[in-house]
Amino acid sequence: SQSLITSCIDHMLEYCNFEEAAKGEFYAGLDLGKYQDYSVLTVVGIEDSSIKLIHMHQFPLRTPYASVIGYVKTLCDRWQTINKVYVDMSGVGDYIVEDMVNAGISEAEGVKFTPETKEKMAQWLKQCMVQKKLKIPYDSDLIAELNIERFELTKDGKIRFSHPEGTHDDRFWSLALAVAATRQEAEGKPDSFIFF
């Protein structure tokens, strides 16, 4: 809801630039798109039990995956320390994760987008928002995407996510992936986020 999203906005928080050498405990989420959808990289940092959104980069449509991987690699090398990068493995993602690991991004882990994994990620994201753990800068594009994501229960009891025609939800899922990557850290116990 709008009020839940508003409660997570920290007006003192600003995005870190790609060129900065940020330090901290960071986790990233990479939602891959190409022709219809954007590829989006999100980085969050854990600070005083808060999850702070510190970087969100939307690549232009049709950006080659090699360029996306190069951007992630540079960030992983520059920022100390990106502990985990959750990557959307739907469609092309399988070989992208392999390419990322081969490029030296050992922190990359693939996440298969299924109704179950999407539901788990969305629930965890919402839980972090409700508990006021998630802090986001004022970013009108992200706020719009958080606002428009829809979900409905299907006949077989699964939750289906959607967004209105002409809108995108790439930022939403990139953020959900990054926040999911923090789950082990945030809960302080072995990763209970089983994707496979």
Tens-digit pLDDT profile for residues 36-65: 789 999 999 999 889 999 999 999 999 999
HSE-up of residue 173 (Cα within 13 Å, Cβ side): 27
Residue range 20-42: mean pLDDT, rounded:
92
Provide CB contacts within 8 A for 38, sequence distance 6+: 31, 58, 59, 60, 61, 168, 170
Domains of the chain: 2-187 (3.30.420.240)
Question: What is the model's pLDDT at position 130?
Answer: 92
CA distance 195 to 192: 9
| Average pLDDT score, the chain | 87
Question: What is the model's pLDDT at position 136?
Answer: 97
Provide CB contacts within 8 A for 72, sequence distance 6+: 28, 30, 41, 85, 100, 105, 108
pLDDT at 106 over 60: yes
Regarding pTM above 0.85, the answer is yes
CA distance 137 to 142: 9
pLDDT single digits (tens) 152-193? 666 776 666 656 566 568 999 999 999 999 987 655 444 444
pLDDT at 108 over 50: yes
Name the least confident of 64-73, 79-88, 119-128: 119-128
